[in-house]
Amino acid sequence: MITAVHLRVFFVLSSVLSVSSEVLRLMHEFNEPLVTAWQLVAGADARLAGIVLLSLRVSLSATLIACVAGMPIGALLAVGRFPGRRALIVLFNGLMGLPPVVVGLLVYLLLSRAGPLGQFGLLFSPTAMVIAQAILVTPIVAALTRQVIADAWSEYREQLRSLGASRPRAAATLLWDGRFSLTTAALAGFGRAIAEVGAVMIVGGNIDGVTRVMTTTIALETSKGDLPLALALGCILIALVLSINALAYALRAWAQRRWG
């Protein structure tokens, strides 16, 4: 005798089955890229290594510049008191959404031979890519730093004041004090830098062996219709970003235990 319960069990089972067959199909679709990705990594492909290193070099440099510029800006926005401060806070929050392609175009026009900085011949060089990504990432670092420091400021304000610390001094102290939390701001900036393709494509030109990075390679392979290879490179990029985040997390935990 078939009861309602039987029917329900049947439906659940059949839907589980159909879902799992869909998963199997997808796994097949993603299998080839994963195998390709593994072969590329295991084969220690020299060209791939060059591309990965350039990606890291460009995006780490840009993030470093963005931190050096953005963290003091963020801290001063958090503790400072000056006219236009609120407008600046809104501006930096808004600039977190800067479209990479627009930044790329602006930097292109600046660095082009016909542009104001043309005489340096920086266009289509890794330096141009660092400049574009630094512009893109600085507002992110500044805005996130401001939030971290503003929270600390509301907590330690009285204490710092009673010690007679000036506002810039307080900003510096809070930056140092919040250094572990600020790794998140730096990582968010780095994530944006390493993932973007619009700006580096325009100012770098995706020149083989000179300015070709992970994201522009992925875009190129997609253009060629080699979707499995493009996806394989995508897997490697994601793995790279994850490892860097894991490394930063571990370092932070270690440093916090050691000196926190």
Partner 1 sequence: MITRRLFCSTLAAIGILSATASDAQERFITVASTTSTEQSGLFGHLLPLFENASGITVRVVALGTGQALDMARRGDADVVFVHDKAAEEKFVAEGFGVKRQEVMYNDFVVIGPKADPAKAHGTNGKDILEGLRRIEATKSPFVSRGDKSGTHAAELRYWKAAGVDLDARKGAWYRDTGSGMGPALNTAASMNAYVLADRGTWLSFRNRGELGIIVAGDTKLFNQYGVILVNPAKHAHVKQADGQKFIDWMVSPEGQKAIADYKIGGEQLFFPNAKR
Rounded to a whole number, what is the largest CA-CA distance in the chain? Answer: 87
Of the residues 114, 116, 162, 164, which one makes contact with partner 1 according to CB under 8 A? 114
Q: Cα torsion at 21, 24, 29, 32 (round to 10°)?
A: -160
Of the residues 20, 208, 243, 247, which one makes contact with partner 1 according to CB under 8 A? 208
247 DSSP 8-state letter: H
The answer to whether 126 contacts partner 1 (rule: CB under 8 A) is yes
CB of 226 to partner 1, least distance (A): 5
The answer to whether 9 contacts partner 1 (rule: CB under 8 A) is no
Selected range binding partner 1 among 11-19, 74-82, 85-93, 113-121, rule: CB under 8 A: 113-121
The answer to whether 216 contacts partner 1 (rule: CB under 8 A) is no
Of the residues 73, 92, 124, 183, which one makes contact with partner 1 according to CB under 8 A? 124
81 touches 161 (CB < 8 A): no
The answer to whether 257 contacts partner 1 (rule: CB under 8 A) is no
| Residue closest to 233 by CA, chosen among 245, 225, 221, 244 | 221
Q: At what angle do helices 46-79 and 167-177 cross, to 10 degrees?
A: 140
Q: Cα torsion at 146, 149, 153, 159 (round to 10°)?
A: -150
57 touches 126 (CB < 8 A): yes
The answer to whether 224 contacts partner 1 (rule: CB under 8 A) is yes
Selected range binding partner 1 among 25-33, 58-66, 157-165, 188-196, rule: CB under 8 A: 58-66
| Residue closest to 130 by CA, chosen among 45, 69, 219 | 69
Site for partner 1 in 162-201 (CB under 8 A): 176, 179
Of the residues 226, 235, 245, 248, which one makes contact with partner 1 according to CB under 8 A? 226
Q: Which two tokens stand for residue 142?
A: 């500044």
The answer to whether 210 contacts partner 1 (rule: CB under 8 A) is yes
Q: Which two tokens stand for residue 136?
A: 């893109």
The answer to whether 138 contacts partner 1 (rule: CB under 8 A) is no
The answer to whether 121 contacts partner 1 (rule: CB under 8 A) is yes
CB of 206 to partner 1, least distance (A): 7
* Residue number with CB closer to partner 1 (88 or 195): 195
Please count the residues of the chain.
260
Rounded CA gap, 53 and 31, in Å?
26
Selected range binding partner 1 among 76-84, 126-134, 140-148, 189-197, rule: CB under 8 A: 126-134
Q: Which two tokens stand for residue 30?
A: 């993603």
Selected range binding partner 1 among 6-14, 21-29, 89-97, 202-210, rule: CB under 8 A: 202-210
| Residue closest to 228 by CA, chosen among 9, 34, 16, 24 | 34
Q: Which residues bind partner 1 (CB under 8 A)?
A: 57, 60-61, 64, 112-115, 118, 121, 123-127, 130, 176, 179, 205-208, 210, 220, 222-227, 259
